[in-house]
Amino acid sequence: MASRGAKDTGKGQRDKSKRDGGNRIALYPGTFDPVTLGHMDIIARAVKLVDHLVIGVADNPSKSPLFPMAQRVKMLEQETASLAGAGRATISVRTFDSLLTQYASEIGARIIIRGLRAVSDFEYEFQMVGMNQRLAPDVETVFLMADPRHQAIASRLVKEIAVLGGDVSSFTSPSVAKALKKRVAEMKRK
């Protein structure tokens, strides 16, 4: 993933993660366009494993994002608000547009969280881990298998269903489904 560096969401989390020192900081990267129930499943499970989870929203124009970066960040902040605390990790949502391993180093993350839906994901992820280990040998990648109920969910397919007028409510939260419907209507007016 290519990018230029971290951007603070304005809530001071960047400074906090730098102070965390010995705590287990993990990075869960993705475009999250839109955030799906599959993403939320991985996030809910990741917060049980680490002290601080940074959700890195990648700026990847080659994926032709449906939602602007600021809206994806806002959706993730709203969707994850209830998952932090009570014995689980703190969560921050930040954008990045640099190499994944550089960003992990910048925020002090020693763990990269990746979700796997199917065997086909594994081949790509296996290559990425090999490259990332060469670039940053001190950063480990942890794979979490998607809950079977969410294994078929992919943001790309959810967008396609929404654009074609289908019901995405079984793949996203109600608020994300509403945002998708609104965004598709805006695009059709243009």
117 is catalytic: yes
List the one residue out of 40, 50, 60, 41 whose CA is nearest residue 103.
Answer: 60
The catalytic position among 94, 117, 150, 159 is 117
The catalytic position among 98, 155, 159, 183 is 155
List the one residue out of 150, 152, 53 whose CA is nearest residue 107.
Answer: 53
The catalytic position among 17, 39, 114, 150 is 39
52 is catalytic: no
39 is catalytic: yes
CA distances from 103 to 11, 70, 95 (A): 18, 19, 10
List the one residue out of 4, 71, 65 whose CA is nearest residue 31.
Answer: 65
The catalytic position among 63, 149, 156, 178 is 63
Contacts (Cβ under 8 Å, ≥6 apart) of 33: 63, 65, 66, 67, 72, 155, 159
Catalytic residues, by residue number, are 39, 63, 117, 155
